[in-house]
Structure formats: C-alpha cells, structure tokens
Structure 1
Amino acid sequence: MKTRIKQLYIFVTALSVAILTACSGGGGLAGIGGSGFISSGTVTGFGSVFINGVEYETVSSTFDVDDVEGTQDDLRIGMVVQVQGSINSDGVTGTATHIQYADDLQGPVSNIITSADFKTLTVLGKTVIVSATGSAFEGLNFSYDSVAQNNVIEVSGFYDELGHLQASYVELKSVTFDSSNVFEVKGVISNLSGTTFEVQGITVDASSASITDLSNGLQNDLLVEVKGFYNSGTFTINATEVEAEDNELSEDGNKVEIEGFITRYVSNGDFDVNGYAVNANNAILTPVTLELKVGVKVEAEGVISNGVLNANEVEARGGNAEVSGIVQSANLDNNTFTVELHSSLSPVTVQLSTSTLMEDEVGDDDQLSLLELRDEGGFVSVRGFEGDTSASTINATRVKRESEVKDVELQGIVTAQETDVSITVLGVVFPVSAVSTSYEDQNEITVDTHAEFEAITGINSTVVSIVDKIEGDGNATGIADEVEIED
C-alpha cells in the first residue's frame, strides 16, 4: 500500500497564510481572537461528537452546516469542522455551544488519474486527491471505487503546498454535471481587480454577486465562500453570492486544539500548523518517536498566548502502519480488537483511542463502534502507528469497516527476513514464495528475487507493505503475493 500520498500532505496554501496573518477587521478574517473556536479538526465519531480526541456534549449546541442552520444529524465522519465551547479538565470531554461546517469545494469531476491507493481528480480546475483509506465517502452507492467523470462532489479536507485539496470527506451531490448546478469554493481572495478575483487559483467574476455579508466589501486576504455557476470554457465561477467565513481561534479557552500539517519548521519551539504558530518545547509527543518537521500531520493542543499555541501535547495523525483483515475479537475493557490476516498467522491487535476515526461502510449509518465490531465483526482497514512490534499492535488513527472482503494487507517496519521463507512485520511472520511472491522497490520497480529485495531493505528501519490477494473463493492464502518498499 503506497504511502506516497503522505508526501503531498503539506498544507501551505493561502488559506493557511491568511489564518496566520489576519487581523480583526474586514468582516470574517480568520486568526486569533477572544471568543473564537476552541477546536478545528475532523469529525471522528458520534454519540455526542468526537473531534480531535474530545467527546463534545451537544444537547444544547447550535449547528451551522454550509451556512444553513442544522443539527448533529447533518454532520458526517471526515468533515472538517470548528467548535465553540469548552473542554473539561480531563482533556477528553467537553461541551460544544456551536459547531460549524463548510465544504472546501463543490463541483464536477474530470481528469481522473488512478494510482495504487489514491485518485487524482480535477474539480473546478482544482486538483483533488481522494484516498481509499484516508477519505470518507457519502452518497447512494458512492465509494472510492465508483468516483466517475462528471460526478458532482462536495469535498472537505486540507490543501497541500501545490494547492491540491487532500480530501477527508467526499459527498456525491449529483451523478452528472448540469450547467445549472450551483458550485462552491472556500478560500482567501487574491489578485482582486474590481469585482474579479481568485480563490484557490480559481477565477471568480462577482460583478452580479450579492456581497452583503462582507461588511467592508471585497478585499484581498479575506476568507470567503463563493457560490455560483461554473463556466468550464473560461474556468471562471460567475458568482451569485460571496460570504465571509470565520475560522478564528479563541485566546480565552483553557484549551485549544488544532489538526493539520506542519507547514513551517524552525525548531520544536517555533513551527506552524495550518498557519498557526506553535511552541511545543514543553509538549508531550505521541508517539514518543514522533519527529516534528514540515509535512507531518499532527494534532496540537494547548493554550494560546500572544498569538502562539503553547502546546502541552502534540500527537501524530495518519501513520505508516496498516492492516486489513477480518475482525477476530474485541475487548471493550481495553478498547482493543484483533484482526486476523489468515488462520495460519498471528493476529494484529488494534488499540483505539478517543482520537481514532471510526468509519462504517456497512449499511446506511457511517458510525462505527467497538461494540459493533465485537458483535458483528467484518472486514476492516486500519491505519496508525506501531506499538509494541513483538505484540503485533497498531495504535489506530483510523478504522474503516469495509462493505466487502478485500485483499489482506499488512504494512510496517520490517524486523526480520528469511530468504524465500518469510518477512516479519508487526510481529507477524508472513510467509513468502520463491515462485509466486513479487517484489518492488520504493519506485515501484520490480525486484527479481527475495535476496535482492533483502539487500535494499534495512532491518528495523524500512517500511514494507505485504499484500495477500483474495482468491476465487474470497479467501486469502496466507502467503504474500506482493511485497514492496514504502516511501
């Protein structure tokens, strides 16, 4: 399973810059303020609402979903939202007074390019990257595999340094493109000339748009949402409405949390996450092996002072350990479950936390609980960080129960190899075949033999992916079909 997509996860767009540099004027400029949001991140679960590892009580909450008053039922796993309210002293519960969601982009799909684990799409002239394991999908019979030309989709996620939108949530709005559809894009105004400007590199003609929500009119560096009709010939949105957006974080809260990618790094005491300045000199890093640097996705929590988030904890998101297989058992007391790769192989233990994103592709409800895994089982895809490799453990950041059985996969640091016999990853001694197992290096170039593959891998340092393909009867064989080095 290729991890090359993680290299693209560097969120340094104009939106980040605006969040960092914005001031209080101008109607909706984002930044740091007295009564702003205490949390900005991805929805990972329900019951109440889980965001950045905190379970928010929502009995008295108000909801703003795409500029319309809504309810908790309008939220979905994978949506990037902002929360107003408070976080309790235990750090894992809180009360939300208000939650807002606004998609980043909505428009027709074109130019689909498929690689091993992600697809590159063009939407309104922008590049959108969707992942089989990193994006949540919403819509009737809509999934990673079914994304098609001319689908109209809504996307929420993060932009990378190339201006590509890395999707955490993708919703099918319409099966086919219709020129009468209203499309949307969110971002910062740039290159303003009269009533023409750019948002996320998309040209916007606002000559006929309502801008009554902008107290000081159109301005460069203003964070807005644009709605209108898309002219594919001129790559221009003819706007009907331009509204101010507010992503301001609070200086008043006893705790503030942000999720995103490190976009600037000088030292652990001086770096940016999604454009916000962070000082993590006194922070606990999770896992302990976490190395802070540009391109790493993290969740940072702490208190804001003088415009800087003084973090007491920084936790990695994503991870290079992965497993896909059948749920074998679950332990509600320990918040764990085990995944069986094959009856002949040792299982992998998955450790959950309040930050783990739990997604269900089975049935109509996208929520997934450990209780459901215990009672119903199913085929799951898990991503996270390696725990104790001798105990075959993954500390999960994301769990998805698939709607069907897929190929068995295992990814992690290789800890042992025996030529033409086995490769050990996450404590699992996975058999290989001198006849049928194929090998590839990090550039997807074929390596002819296991011995040659061993020569280019380092024990306790190289991350490898092992795939055991399902056969005609829907079962894996317990012998690796493909082994490849991950970037």
Structure 2
Amino acid sequence: MHHPRLTSQPLLSLSFQRRGLGGGLLALALLAGCGGGGSDAAVGTGGGATVASYALGPITGYGSIVVNGVHYNEKSARVFEDDVECGACASALKLGMVVEIQGGAVDTSTSRANAATVRFGSELKGPVSAVDTSGGLITLLDQTVAVSSSTVWDSSLTGGITKLAELLAAGPVLLEVHAQFNSATGQYLATRIELETSLSSYKLRGTVASLDTVATTFKIGNAIINYGGIPTASRPANLADGLKLRVRLATAQVNGQWVATTLSTGVRKVEDSSHAHLRGTIGTVNSPTSFTVDGITVDASNASWPDGTTGLVAGARVEVEGAMVNGVLVATKVEFDSHHSGDDDDRNKPEIDGTVSAVDTSAKTFQIEGRSETISYAGASFKDGTVAKLLVGAVVEVKARLASDGSLVAKVVEFKS
C-alpha cells in the first residue's frame, strides 16, 4: 500500500504565512521518522502540546472524509468554515473541497485517523462573466479559473463546463469555487464547483497587488478592489502588496471597481506533527531542496524523490510527506502528480463508503445516505456480492472515477454487510 501524506491548522486563506525554521529542526525531524508499529506517534517539542497529524488537500472520498489517501473520522471533530465554527456543518464537507485537518495519529496499516479540527472555505463566490469550453477556463470576479479532469462538479452542474456554458447563455450564473491557486499561471485550479441560486455578497481570496493607499484600492488578479468604505480600525494593520486576504465584496461594482465590505487575514502557526502530508501547487522555488507549497515552506534536503527533481518548478502539482517542525514541512518524500495520474491508487479517484439510500435500476445509478451525488454503476464490478445485492440499506465501499462531465462512475462496489 502506498501511504498518504498530511498537513494542519486553521485556515483564513489556504495560503497563509508560516513561521520560520527553528534550531531544533533536525533533531525533531529525526524523531518524527523513528516511529514503530502501525501508527505515527506525536512528537514532543518541549513546549506546548503537539498534534500527531496534519493534512492539506482536496477531499477525495467520504464515509469518513478522505484527504491525501488517509480516512479521517470527522464525526467528533470541530469544523470551521472561514474560521467560524459551525457545529452542524460536518455534513457540508463534500468531494473536492480543499480542507485542512489537524488530527490524531495515523494508523499506517489502515490509513485511518481521527480528525480533531477540520477547516474549509471556498476561494471565490460570485458571478460568471465568461466560459471557454475549449480551454477549460471560467472567468469569475475578474479571475481565471481552470477546470480539469479532477474538478468535482456539483450535481446541479452535471455536464461540467459544457453545462455551465449553456446556463450562462440562458442568463446570469452564480458559482462557489473551491480551488488551489497556481502562482505560475495566475489561475485558480478548481477542485469543486457549485451552482448558487443567490448571493448576498461575493467572496475572493488572493494576494494583494498594486496597493494605492491614497485611492484606497488594490488588485487581486485583474480585479480592482476599493476598500475605502471599511473603517481604518477594521483594516489589516499590515495591509501591503503580497499580503494574503479574504475579501467580502458588495454585489454591485462602482465605476468598474469591486467594493470591499470586509478584509480578513492572519498569520497562522502550523503545529508540530510527526505525520504531515500536503497536496498542492508549488509557489516559489528557493533552491533544489527548498520551496513552498500553498504557502507552506518545504525543506526537502533529506527527502526521497521517486519521480526525480526535474519537475521542480513553480506551478507543479506535488504531494509531500514528512513532519511539521516549527512551521516547516521537513519532507521525507516528494512526488509529482503528473507522474501518477493513471496509478491505481491515484489520490484523485473518489472513495465512497456508506449506506445506499436510493437505487435507479433503469438509469443504473445509486446514491449514498446523506449525500447528493448520484453514482453510476453501469460497468462496475462487484465484490462480495452481485448487482442484485445493490439495494437500499446495503452498506458499500465504492472505488469510483470522475467522468468527463463531472459525474461519478463506480469502478468497484464492495459490499460490507
């Protein structure tokens, strides 16, 4: 079994600032790599408590949520959306949402752990202004959103970008986009897209550029944002170019500018953990062994590179395993997504556990209790039973894939009861 990789801590933006590397890093990294048995033990720092595992990446399965190949039991976790705790929103966690998980030790024999906190939040909410079906690009809030074969489309958008283009031709379209930013292309790589019927405000996460304190404007991507209506006391004290922000916007532009109603940012400390695993996009490359992934500094000086290092460039998608030490991921392994898109254990392939709540034998589809997605079983193979056993109430484990239109197609359906 290929064992997963993880990451941790609160998220105001998924690309928040990190603390620097401490003097005890090497000793802690060695301790982190010396666990025995079936789970990773937490590493002490001599100070406060440490977490045992940390994950950052898109959700690729549910039953317990699956992130970077690890099944996290989130039933008792504290769940936060945009830093606001929402007691009942564990059910809002869906395929393709990018999450941060802080949890207990990972049992490496089963790839399972208990989540203590789960944090999520979309990157954009707002109106679509253009759709390029051939290029797989969407323009939203003056930002470019790229879709791919791993983008999860909500059931209301079955048909993917083609369906979206049809809707836009018929009238205004509002979307919520979960994504990871690619600094090399200046695009948001969509991991999940949902259709919204109405929005009282819009939202954009990104990096401040072209700050003009006299005109009280700045840019995120191609969007010009006016923050003059926000009281000085409510603005970030460190507002400057390069700062990561989450911006709430009024729904109407004024003189071609978006009007900010709130600006939020924060410096996050990632807790030390013996098992850290993240999946994301390389931002800056400082050296062949030092780079950032979604704002997290990676020290790969002692890492293995199964795919080689020639793909180490800004914009490359990677998975990194290691230990979090003083806000730095001390890597033990670095892999490139581009080398593993066809692997049997590809992390993009959805894994779905649960109880069957509906079956349509004519369409050859079924649904899992508590979930809106419809799963096609046409062409699926069955384990520990036949298709005749696929009935309401059956407990199943499904290995699936995303079809080109964004729908879920079961590859293997295994009966668990």
TM-score (norm 2): 0.65
Q: Residues 193-242 of structure 1, C-alpha deviation per residue, up to 9 Å, x if partnerless? A: 16433334422223334787767475555433211224456442212222
Aligned-pair CA distance for 1:402: 6.8
1:357 to 349, 352, 370: 349
Q: Which residue of 2 aligns with 1:134?
A: 150
- Pair 188,247 (structure 1): closer, same or farther in 2 beyond 3 Å: farther
Return the structure number with greater strand share: 1
2:176 to 151, 154, 157: 154
Q: Which residue of 2 aligns with 1:278?
A: 298
The CA distance in 1 between the partners of 2:15 and 2:200, in whole Å, is: 31
Is 1:85 aligned with 2:103?
Answer: yes
The CA distance in 2 between the partners of 1:210 and 1:367, in whole Å, is: 47
The CA distance in 2 between the partners of 1:83 and 1:16, in whole Å, is: 12
| Contact 2:20 2:327 (C-alpha < 8 Å) held by counterparts | no
Q: Which residue of 1 aligns with 2:213?
A: 193
- Structure 1 residues 249-328: aligned runs within 5 Å: 249-250=270-271, 252-265=272-285, 268-286=288-306, 288=307, 291-294=310-313, 295-305=315-325, 307-319=327-339
- Pair 72,88 (structure 1): closer, same or farther in 2 beyond 3 Å: same
Aligned-residue CA RMSD in angstroms?
4.0
1:168 to 182, 187, 191: 191
Residue type of the alignment partner of 2:130: N
- Pair 309,405 (structure 1): closer, same or farther in 2 beyond 3 Å: closer
- Structure 1 residues 9-158: aligned runs within 5 Å: 19=17, 38-66=54-82, 67=84, 69=86, 70-88=88-106, 90=108, 92-115=111-134, 118-131=135-148, 133-144=149-160, 145-148=162-165, 149=168, 150-158=172-180
Q: Residues 322-355 of structure 1, C-alpha deviation per residue, up to 9 Å, x if partnerless? A: 5xxxxxxxxxxxxxxxxxxxxxxxxxxx7236x3
Q: Which residue of 2 aligns with 1:470?
A: none
The CA distance in 2 between the partners of 1:210 and 1:373, in whole Å, is: 58
Q: Which residue of 2 aligns with 1:399?
A: 401
| Contact 1:43 1:79 (C-alpha < 8 Å) held by counterparts | yes
The CA distance in 2 between the partners of 1:47 and 1:369, in whole Å, is: 18
Residue type of the alignment partner of 2:350: M
Aligned-pair CA distance for 1:120: 1.3
SS, match of residue 140 in structure 1: helix
**Percent of aligned pairs with the same amino acid:** 23
Aligned-pair CA distance for 1:74: 0.1
SS, match of residue 257 in structure 1: strand
Higher RCO (C-alpha 8 Å, min separation 6): 2
Q: Which runs of 5+ in 1 are unaligned?
A: 1-14, 24-32, 323-349, 378-396, 407-487
| Contact 1:269 1:281 (C-alpha < 8 Å) held by counterparts | yes
- Pair 290,231 (structure 1): closer, same or farther in 2 beyond 3 Å: same
- Pair 22,193 (structure 1): closer, same or farther in 2 beyond 3 Å: farther
| Contact 1:39 1:258 (C-alpha < 8 Å) held by counterparts | yes
Q: Which has the larger radius of gyration?
A: 1
Aligned-pair CA distance for 1:312: 1.4
| Contact 1:121 1:127 (C-alpha < 8 Å) held by counterparts | yes
Is 1:374 aligned with 2:374?
Answer: no
- Structure 1 residues 439-478: aligned runs within 5 Å: none
| Contact 1:136 1:359 (C-alpha < 8 Å) held by counterparts | no
The CA distance in 2 between the partners of 1:146 and 1:41, in whole Å, is: 26
Q: Which runs of 5+ in 2 are unaligned?
A: 1-12, 22-46, 353-364, 388-398, 409-417
The CA distance in 2 between the partners of 1:81 and 1:17, in whole Å, is: 12
| Contact 2:72 2:115 (C-alpha < 8 Å) held by counterparts | yes
SS, match of residue 146 in structure 1: helix
The CA distance in 2 between the partners of 1:38 and 1:166, in whole Å, is: 22
Residue type of the alignment partner of 1:167: A
- Pair 221,270 (structure 1): closer, same or farther in 2 beyond 3 Å: closer
SS, match of residue 72 in structure 1: helix
| Contact 2:270 2:327 (C-alpha < 8 Å) held by counterparts | no
Count matched residues.
Answer: 326
The CA distance in 2 between the partners of 1:126 and 1:85, in whole Å, is: 34
Q: Which residue of 2 aligns with 1:229?
A: 250
Q: Residues 56-115 of structure 1, C-alpha deviation per residue, up to 9 Å, x if partnerless? A: 122310111244614321011111111122332528222211111111111111222222
Residue type of the alignment partner of 2:297: A
TM-score (norm 1): 0.57
The CA distance in 2 between the partners of 1:373 and 1:222, in whole Å, is: 48
- Pair 245,205 (structure 1): closer, same or farther in 2 beyond 3 Å: same
- Pair 188,266 (structure 1): closer, same or farther in 2 beyond 3 Å: closer
SS, match of residue 225 in structure 1: strand
Residue type of the alignment partner of 1:19: Q
Q: Which residue of 1 aligns with 2:359?
A: none
